[in-house]
A and B are shown apart, each in its own frame.
Chain A
Amino acid sequence: VTAPPNLSPGTSRLRALLRAADARWRADLPATRLAALRCLIGGFATIYLAIRVVHLLSFVDFAAASFAPVGVVSLLAAPLPPALVILPVLLALPLGLAFTLGWRFTVTGPAFAAVLLWVLSYRNSWGMIFHTENLMVAHVIILGLTRSADAWSLDARRRPPGPQPHAHGWPVRLLAVVTVATYLLAGVAKLRLSGLGWVTSDLLRNYIAYDNLRKLELGDTHSPLGGALVARPALFPPLAALSLLLELLAPLALLGPRLARLWSLGAFAFHLGVLAVMAIFFPYPLLGLAFAPLFAPERLPLWRWLRLAPLHPGPEPVALARP
């Protein structure tokens, strides 16, 4: 006897699985959490752009021969005329402000994400790809494409949005997953490029020495601590192993608030260590913004000072249980 044509247990199980995945991924979180992330990340991106305006405009007079487009800028075959370099940079600042304040967010959200992507991609298109802005850009894209202005925004003040069930949880989870994924990728890159030798050999020590040397020889700030530490080779394999473990085990941060705290602390310490021994400043993680999606940033006292949050918030967990 063949299978009953109107019973399909396989389909049913798949369906159940999909529904469970959907329920977990889109489980609701307060709109204020996403809004807090928008304010923090959008505010940081805007200030970062404002501080870096001179740097961003410096590419105007770079030699065309140095132009090596990456990402979206790969559409260009040659550098842009100065006006078209300056315009997006200047446009990005008011858009960033509108993004942070949540003004006309349906338009300004995606627009700021797009302009930021363009400006920073252009910045990286001169033979040198920096890695300090990748995560920030990815986060701004996510925030710009989601309903992150449903609270604590000018839009919400002008016209409070109706109930939006399941619209504010998944963006926060996506932000957290992207954060974790970038660290995982960095760990995988080390294994792909150098294998376990990255831990067991002098690769890291040599690299730190080289990095400080070139900074010194190029007239930039270097880390005297790094220079001093390279004389102690035994230090580096454990440091390398810790760094690699921290990166490869980053997905564990998604499993629970305690692990999220632990990992974030580790990642923060890692960046602090990089600053100390290589004089490389990663502002986004060192200011805690990279890890903010793993927590409940809407409970920061900052919002109460800004009169955005109630003075006595409810008993919500501080860390995000499961992204």
Chain B
Amino acid sequence: MSEDPNPGARAGTPRWSLAGLSLVHGLVFASAASVLPWQRWTVFAASTAVLAALHLGTAALALVGARHRRLAWRITSLAALAYLALHTFTALRAGVYIAALYGGLGRGVAGGLAALWCVLVLFTVPLALWGIAATGGLRARRGLGIAGALTLAFTAGMWRAAAVAAADPLPRPGDDPIALASELQTTIARLSVPVPKTRPKLHLWNRDPVQCDAPIDRPTLIVSYPVRDDRKPKPSKEAGKQSPKDKAPRMRNATRCVQAESARDLLPALAATIADAAAPGPMKIDILTATQPLTSSSPGPLSLLLRPGLDGVCDGQRCLMPWQLVALGQFNTYTPLPFIEDLRFGSDPAALRRVLTRRGEPASDTLDGLTRVTTDSFIVDRKGTVVHAPAMREPDPELTAEDLSRASVAAERHVLAAQNDDGRFRYILQPFTGKVTWKGFAVPRQAGTTLTLCELGTPTRAVTDAARRSLAMLASLERPAGDVSGLVYDEPGRPQRRWASLGDTALPLIAFLSCRPRTGPAHDLLVARLAGFLLAMQRPDGGFHPRYDLNKVAPIPGPDPMYAAGQAVFALTLLEQLLVDEPATLGVAGMPDRETIRAAVERAMTYFADDYWDHAYYGFFFLEENWHCLAARAALPVHRHAGYERFCLDYVEFKRRLILDQGAVRSDLVGAYGFGNVLPPHNTPTGGFGETLAAAMAIRAADGETRPEDQQLMREVLAFLVEQQWTDANCFACTPDQVVPGGYSESVGSPDMRIDYTQHVWSALGHGGRTLGLARTPPAPPPRARPRARPPRRPPRARPPPHRPPRARPPRPPRPHRRSRAVALDRGGPGYAWLVSGALLLMVLSPLCRPAGTDSFPWSSFPMFGHGLPDARTTVHHLIAFDAAGQRRVVPPALVANDEVLQAEATLRRAVRGGRKTSAALCKQVAARLADDPAWADIVRLELLSERYDAITYFAGDTAPIAPPKTRAICKLLRPGDPIAQQDPAPKKKRPKKTRRRPPKKPTQTNLSPGTPPTNLSPGTPSTNLSPGTPPTNLSPGTPPNNLSPGTPPPRP
């Protein structure tokens, strides 16, 4: 049998494990130091680089087996703990600062920071603690002292960080913004500036900082307002022609810094300043309420020192107001990881400096010298009405049907105005500069906007025509491949794509089918081919391939693409509904039959309900599955699937956890989808959640279930969305060349407007409003069939909107419980499989994390042969039995311990290590066994001997020990009939007091019957366990001596 003769005893300073672990740690820290920070020579980079160097040095020393690796490991371990303390302190200080600045971190951000910290802990603590423990540990007193000092330093640092975040208030006319709005209203009304009869082409956009006359340490406000433009107009290209707009008074924007010696004088100073106003509005007034000097050594992350929409910044007396920073995109300039360009949040100090610096002056790249200013923000609309509008949005505490209606109409107007002549919807718009970008144009977003237009648009010709133009544009993207067609959009200047994606086809098919009641059956042939495409893309298990090879006319296998898979189910569901409602469409060439579509939908729904998201963490998270909910809602009249509906409802239950609720965040963020105050919530995900929640509510309503909490949540979501919409009032600085009102920016800190931002929010407003009873379902306009290529065989009937009450609802099967979770715990489920596999593999591999040589059962490092023997000389402990003639026999393992020789060896080793008493006890125990065994009847005594051999020479024939044997114990066998042994040991002889040299070990003699002398004792050798007066042994002639002289081999058995 194999064995580890000495488990754990050889665990000194490890070599290979230390080298491996240190190398891994060193490489990780080195890459972190070089990649993570966007700046060079930050504290993070420097400290991480130092730690990386220490780890790599330790690894190198361990690799070469140097003695000093122990010292290096200890230094590295202490440095790692210091590194952790430093960055924990820095992170905590930053967290406290940001929490004080923003009014809370938010659960999401706090959780993210905690997760990052845990990563840091994992890469520092285990190896460091192991290192300190393996290299001598720490003295308790010293450890307590360090802990105390750290606690004090942490406490002081946190207190300081919280104090630094507070800004110094400035004197101002009033603390109550509502009352202040009223005073401003009075001030402006006193100017008696008439409202222009024609709307002037004016916006207050100004990218330059305003210059104040005095330092920002007194009552100050910044006002942007319209003044008469007396400059000569540029010569018109078409001289002589004058548009109505040209007749409007010509105005321009003026921005002034108004300051006063006292707060009471500020509003009169404002009145004096804007006395030259050409109109009562629009105006933007920011009253500065507090200032805070910014430094590069601020405790918080530099990119988050300014709050989007709430904070402005001044460089001395040159100031940019909060709305200007937003308009300049300053909250989207910081890229924490340079290798991920699209990961942007917060404000880059260098970019901030650039917009504050005068032209021609060198720009600094630090925050030193800048001042953060907080403001009370007011907007004056074109009629002169003043509203308090923090972050450019007017808080609207109550959601009403009028609000929703107004917002929907504005969104429709915005979308209609965004359409280009070629049918495409404008892709990205910068609302302040008016810059339009088509780069990245995406077919699904075009189709999604068309879908929303058809679903929620008013029954007007303008909407229908816009839908037709968009559908025509989508139809022009058709790429036939055999009997089916996919849609492919090739960006100008790029080579033609030879594959079609599921998303580029599925969502347009939804648009074609949803718009059909408005636009007629003109695209039915295309619908049939696109449906064939989706069927071809479906996998046997019900999921969908992501791409289709147009040359090979075959799908390109791959996992379900996000979003597009749900869109495919949605499209097939709508098609199934169409085939039920209008059987005549089955006659369209290439149209799949109803049963095929139904089977495909059933297969897909079953797959997404059961297998797609079937894992042990079902209850923890989902990805983006909004479209599945919309598909499940669309299927209510025609194809209900209990599992698929449950999937949607579970998904919404998960997502609602990410909606910011009352008390956790600023009041204006309640209802948003996000992670707290710090990172501005985005409008599109919020809109997406609104759409999905509306679908989930419709599914519940179909079962007669209405949940008040859903309604309350929907109200909060819609209230947030309504507030975030660009309106005529808050669009005071928007470009007059594009229709911005009605649309949506990405977030309060990111002004760019992509068409699908508006689309998703509009969809949420429409569908969500309907579920709350605040918006009506618009009547579908009568179809106006405008056949395109070939007329359908039968004129189509108008299909009602998809959310009307079901016509013939199939009986609903009982809703299953959370099947996935049940399966996860089943021994055949994936969660169980991964749990068991992971746990067992971890246990099997766990010895790699233990010091080399330590052993356990059954999770062993298998060190049995690993030790090897550097030297062939070894000591063997064994029990030797002697008969009366002095012949020796080795006592076999079964009589020492059990049938395992190694167990016997371990028992002997333990006895020898235990000293004389333990050795004697074992000797006595074995002697008793031998006494009972007739095979050992001739044996009279036992000796426990330690003999040293050279194993190599032993097998070369020289079997003699290389050193005199050491007798650990001697004992006599007692048999029935023998004189009674003296069982009690004799009083111990006192050991000589401390001597420099340990006296040679003397054999222990036990179980000697009275009169039996100890054997082989040299004259003067003290004997133990002898009764007083026991004479020394009288050795019979021929008795082999036990204490053999060096070089005398014992006789072999």
Which positions in A face B, CB cutoff 8 Å? 1-8, 11-12, 15-16, 19-20, 22, 25-26, 54-55, 58-59, 62-63, 65-66, 70-71, 117, 120-121, 124-134, 137-138, 141-142, 145-147, 164-167, 170, 174, 177-178, 181-182, 185-186, 188-195, 197-198, 201-207, 209-210, 212-215, 217-220, 227-228, 230-231, 274, 280-282
Contacts and interface: CB of A to CB of B under 8 A. Distances in A.
Contact of B830 (A22, A55, A188, A194): A22
B152 interface: no
A206 B2 contact: no
B860 A129 contact: yes
Contacts of B834: 22, 25
Interface string B51-65: 000000000000001
A201 B868 CA distance: 10
Contacts of B10: 193
Nearest to B870: A203
B561 interface: yes
Interface of B: 1-4, 7, 10, 14-17, 65, 332, 342-344, 428, 437, 439-440, 442, 558-559, 561-563, 615, 623-624, 682, 684-685, 688, 746, 750, 752, 754, 756, 827-828, 830, 833-834, 836-837, 840-841, 844-845, 847-848, 852-853, 855-872, 874, 876, 878, 890-893, 896-910, 914, 918, 921-922, 925, 947, 949, 951-952, 954-956
Given A5-B685, A8-B562, A192 B1 contact: no
A227 B863 CA distance: 23
A5 B904 contact: no
Given A2-B342, A181-B841, A206-B952, A147 B862 contact: no
17 contacts: A62-B897, A66-B907, A127-B907, A129-B857, A134-B862, A138-B840, A138-B858, A164-B828, A165-B828, A174-B836, A182-B844, A185-B844, A192-B15, A201-B868, A206-B868, A214-B905, A218-B896
Q: Nearest 9 CB-CB pairs, A to B?
A: A203-B868, A167-B828, A209-B951, A3-B342, A186-B862, A192-B852, A220-B901, A206-B869, A58-B898
Contact of B852 (A62, A128, A142, A193): A193
Contacts of A120: 857-858
Given A8-B562, A11-B562, A195-B16, A130 B840 contact: no
A214 B874 contact: yes
B871 A185 contact: no
B848 A188 contact: yes
B507 to A, nearest CB: 12
B623 A186 contact: no
B368 to A, nearest CB: 28
Most buried by A among B903, B904, B947, B956: B903
Contact of A207 (B17, B828, B867): B867
B914 A230 contact: no
A202 B688 CA distance: 71
A174 B682 CA distance: 45
A264 to B, nearest CB: 18
Most buried by A among B561, B865, B921: B865
Nearest to B901: A220
A3 to B, nearest CB: 4
A190 B865 CA distance: 7
Given A129-B3, A131-B3, A25 B837 contact: yes
Contacts of B907: 62, 66, 126-127
B965 to A, nearest CB: 11
Most buried by B among A6, A7, A117, A164: A6
Contacts of A145: 827, 836
A16 B559 contact: yes
Contact of B949 (A20, A170, A213): A213
Nearest to B442: A4
Contacts of A189: 847, 852-853, 861-863, 866
Contacts of B558: 16
Most buried by B among A63, A219, A231: A219
Contacts of B688: 6
B866 A190 contact: yes
B862 A131 contact: yes
Contacts of B900: 55, 128, 130
B252 to A, nearest CB: 30
Nearest to A203: B868
Interface SS of A by simple majority: helix
Given A193-B853, A198-B868, 7 more contacts: A8-B624, A58-B898, A129-B856, A164-B828, A193-B868, A220-B904, A274-B2
Contact of B332 (A2, A19, A220, A231): A2
A230 B869 contact: no
Contacts of A141: 840
A213 B954 contact: yes
B3 A218 contact: no
A163 B483 CA distance: 37
B343 A117 contact: no
A263 B690 CA distance: 59
A59 B900 CA distance: 12
A137 B864 CA distance: 18
Contacts of B852: 189, 192-193
Contacts of B918: 65
A219 B874 CA distance: 17
A121 B860 CA distance: 12
A185 B342 contact: no
Contacts of B2: 130-132, 274, 280, 282
Nearest to A278: B2
Given A137-B858, A138-B840, A185-B847, A127 B876 contact: no
A219 B891 CA distance: 7
Contacts of B561: 12
A185 B440 CA distance: 52
B858 A2 contact: no
Contact of A194 (B17, B867, B901): B867
A121 B440 CA distance: 64
Given A198-B866, A213-B951, A185 B746 contact: no
A323 B271 CA distance: 82
Contacts of B844: 138, 178, 181-182, 185
Given A6-B563, A26-B830, A193-B852, A204 B865 contact: yes
Most buried by A among B844, B856, B891: B844
A218 B624 contact: no
A194 B866 contact: yes
A70 B857 CA distance: 6
A198 B864 CA distance: 13
Contacts of A55: 898-900
Contacts of A12: 559, 561-562
A195 B440 contact: no
Contacts of A193: 10, 852-853, 863, 866-868
Given A65-B914, A130-B902, A203-B868, A213 B874 contact: yes
B856 A70 contact: yes
Contacts of A219: 878, 890-893, 901
Contact of A218 (B845, B856, B858, B890): B890
Contacts of A215: 901
Contacts of A62: 897, 907
Nearest to B871: A206
A210 B952 CA distance: 8
A291 B813 CA distance: 49
A131 B869 CA distance: 19
Contacts of B899: 54-55, 58
Given A193-B852, A209-B954, A181 B845 contact: yes
A129 B905 CA distance: 12
A231 B950 CA distance: 13
A282 to B, nearest CB: 8
Nearest to A71: B857
A41 to B, nearest CB: 14
B330 to A, nearest CB: 14
Given A219-B892, A220-B892, A182 B901 contact: no
